[in-house]
Amino acid sequence: MYYHKRPLKYVEYGKVFPPPDEKVWDFLAPAYKWLGHYCGYCPQVWLSRSNLSITGYKSSRMLKKRQHVIQKRSDVKEANDSVLFGFDVIKGFPVSYKYWEMILMFLHDKKTLENINKEITLELNQITRECKLDKCMDEETIAWDRCNGDLNLFLQKYLFIEEDQVVVPSLNLKSAKQIICKDERQKKELRRMGFIEDRIKIKNIKQRAW
């Protein structure tokens, strides 16, 4: 099952696109632009594959810890008022979660793809050298070391593989096989939009510790 979390205010009975620019173009904007060079579109709609914790659904505890990311009360309220959509099959562009997190800090706006990729390569080379010296290599640095500093090979073998998340340019919410919401208010609103009642479930999902 592929899962997509979406604030209720941006849910539509049909095709949806990434949230409005003011919700997307934050500190992650350079990263989304960089990914767009490879997947062919930007911004992206993100889905997790099997792993609910990646979606951030019902993650109020995480939001409190990341006050530098979401500072406005309205943003926190909106993020908490989300619905989870589940799909049987999604053909998207794969992005491995752990390796995406690994390079995310290096995806700054360096104007050109070449400059960004040069910085990623330099930074990962340095981190791997230090880990070797300290004898603290982990799965991610071992993967980079196996690629001998070849970023394109690293992207092909480790980052852009279907493990636990994919991105798509748009998503048809009407085709969701499972819809998880938090209360009767959300369920009533989803029914009003046209979603099939048998597919809507109220569940209290406990988020994995961050």
d(CA 119, CA 132) in angstroms, rounded, equals 20
Q: Which of helix, strand or coil describes residue 179?
A: strand
Enter the pTM of the model.
Answer: 0.84
The answer to whether 94 and 162 have CB atoms below 8 angstroms apart is: yes
**The token pair that represents 57 in the structure block:** 């659904």
d(CA 210, CA 208) in angstroms, rounded, equals 6
d(CA 71, CA 18) in angstroms, rounded, equals 21
Burial class of 134 by CB neighbour count within 10 A (0 to 12, 13 to 18, 19+):
exposed
Of the candidates 47, 20, 56, 31, which has an alpha carbon nearest to the alpha carbon of residue 173?
Answer: 47
Burial class of 37 by CB neighbour count within 10 A (0 to 12, 13 to 18, 19+):
exposed
DSSP string, 111-148: SSHHHHHHHHHHHHHHHHHHHHHHT---HHHHHHHHTT
pLDDT at 68: 39
Give the list of residues 6+ apart from residue 175 with CB closer than 8 angstroms, or none: 87
d(CA 45, CA 93) in angstroms, rounded, equals 10
The answer to whether 43 and 10 have CB atoms below 8 angstroms apart is: no
Q: Which of helix, strand or coil describes residue 171?
A: strand
How far is C-alpha 117 from the geometric centre of its chain's CA atoms? 21
Averaged pLDDT in 10-residue chunks for the chain of 210 residues: 93 90 68 95 92 71 41 59 93 95 89 93 95 92 95 97 94 96 94 95 64
pLDDT at 57: 78
